[in-house]
Structure 1
Amino acid sequence: MPRSAPMPPARPRVTREDWLAAAREVLVSHGVAEVKVLTLGRTLGVSRSSFYWYFENREDLLAQLLDDWDARNTATLLKTCAAPSATISDAVCAFFRCFIDPALFDQGLDFAVREWARRDAALRVRLDAADAARIAGVTKMFARHGYPAGEADARARILYFMQLGYNALDIREPLEARLDRLEAYLLGFTGQSPDPAAMAAFRAFAEQALGPPNDAARG
């Protein structure tokens, strides 16, 4: 009787997303130097052979990790800024939502990539391009609400750089303290009287994302 064909090797039980999630966690916690295939495999409880179902080598993993960062942070922020908004207050509150909901913008990942770029010239170029694209997206957001080009650019930079600085400083304060400043923040960033409906919607979103004000102490 003819011999049966050998069975193909079983597909590994961990997915590409599992490897990326593990790599992302290590990158955020310990830096790019500690993103190692053997270490990640131990964390996932699988052999290195599983890794090669999805990645050619460590460099390919790092490249896909950066693509993941682009999709999670830059693309999401640009999509948010381009979304229809009734008022500039509504648009800026949508921008703020990205920075309180990790599902919309991963602040830890963004900071880790910036740290990585300090020692990687090619990544620094890519990071600068991402920042430029984000600022352009925020600028267009202001321009759609009638701000002249120069003012839209300036307000976009103030808003974006403030938010990055807030995150970099790891400011921690009760949610209620942040929400109490929302009206003043919107006035400062937009130069217009804040829209009460936009503020109410943002408050509801923040409380759902971060928990009741008395329980939150996040920045």
Structure 2
Amino acid sequence: MAEKPILHRDNPDAEPLIGNIKVTRTDWLNVAMDVLVTDGVEQVKVLALAERMGVSRSSFYWYFKSRQELLDALLTSWDQTNTAGLITQAETPAETITAAVLNVFRCTTNPELFNTALDFAIRDWSRRSGPVRNLLDASDARRVQALADMFRRFDYPDLEARTRARVLYYMQLGYDMAGLNEPYEQRVSMTGSYLEVFTGKPANPDELAEFAIYAKQYWRA
């Protein structure tokens, strides 16, 4: 009796994989992402990843031609998660500028919308790689541009829109990098004041209440 296929390659027209191959392309990416975040890009090695998953290194080559292709896939995943996530939140329709900024706060509150640890890992990687530095610079520019466009939609003059966008973006990066161990109550109590600093406008209490409910899912009490 023929052995049943365990999984298929990413190409649906390819022959199924037979035998003791138990991981998918997504598994390789996820484990590589974990190692990138915790140990840095130098430790993202095919043999080490295979040992961590308990599979043969040869199974890696069903999905990737080389380690470089895996690294490129990690960069693509980062861009599609973090850069696209922040831009999407900045472009989300809102009735007020404070509600629009709260949409951006949701992005950096919810790790499914923006993976802060991954962003820091990419920044660390960029210090040792010119091409990654170029990708990061382009990503930062796109993010800041999206935030500036957000302020322009609410009739902020161009220079002010660009300035407020940079203050909002780089303050948020620094805030996350500091890793402040704030209780939920303290952090959410300051949200209105942050909004006034970023926008020059007072926040609507209903907006703040809605955001507080959302944030509580992700911020530890």
The equivalent of 1:98 in structure 2 is 107
Per the alignment, residue 136 of structure 1 pairs with 145
Shift of 1:9: 4.2
- What is the distance in 2 between the residues matched to 1:76 and 1:210? 19
Map of 2:188 onto structure 1: 179
Q: Which has the higher contact order (CA 8 A, sep 6+)?
A: 1
> Per-residue deviation at 1:98?
1.2
Structure 1: 5+ residue stretches without partners: 1-6
Matches within 5 A, 1:170-209: 170-209=179-218
Correspondence list, 1:48-197, <5 A: 48-197=57-206
Query: Is 1:31 aligned to 2:40, yes or no?
Result: yes
- What TM-score, normalized by structure 2, do the two folds share? 0.90
Measure how far apart 1:81 and its partner are. 0.6
| SS in structure 2 at match of 1:102 | coil
Query: How far off its partner does 1:8 sit?
Result: 6.2
* Identity across matched positions, percent: 48
Aligned-residue CA RMSD (Å): 1.4
Judging changes above 3 Å, is the alpha-carbon distance between structure 1 residues 9 and 199 closer, same or farther for their aligned structure 2 residues?
A: closer
2:18 to 3, 10, 21: 10
* Equivalent-residue separation in structure 2 for 1:188 and 1:45 (angstroms): 51
CA distance in 1, matches of 2:34, 2:217: 25
Q: Secondary structure at the match of 1:52?
A: helix
How many Å separate the matches in 1 of 2:16 and 2:175?
A: 52
- What is the CA deviation profile of residues 21-62 of structure 1, one whole-angstrom value per residue up to 9, with x for unaligned ones? 100000000000000101111111211121111111100000
Aligned residues: 206
Rounded Cα–Cα distance in structure 2 between residues aligned with 1:120 and 1:101: 29
What are the superposed Cα offsets for residues 71-97 of structure 1, whole Å, 9 maximum, x if unpaired?
110011111111111111111111111
Q: How far apart are 1:104 and its partner, in Å?
A: 0.7
Task: Supply the distance in 2 between the matched residues of 1:9 and 1:26 (Cα, whole angstroms).
Answer: 26
- What is the rounded CA distance, in whole Å, between the counterparts of 2:83 and 2:191 in structure 1? 24
Q: 1:176 to 1:9 in 2, by over 3 A?
A: closer
Deviations 1:181-210 (A, max 9, x none): 111111110001112221111100011223
Tell me which residue corresponds to 2:9. Answer: none
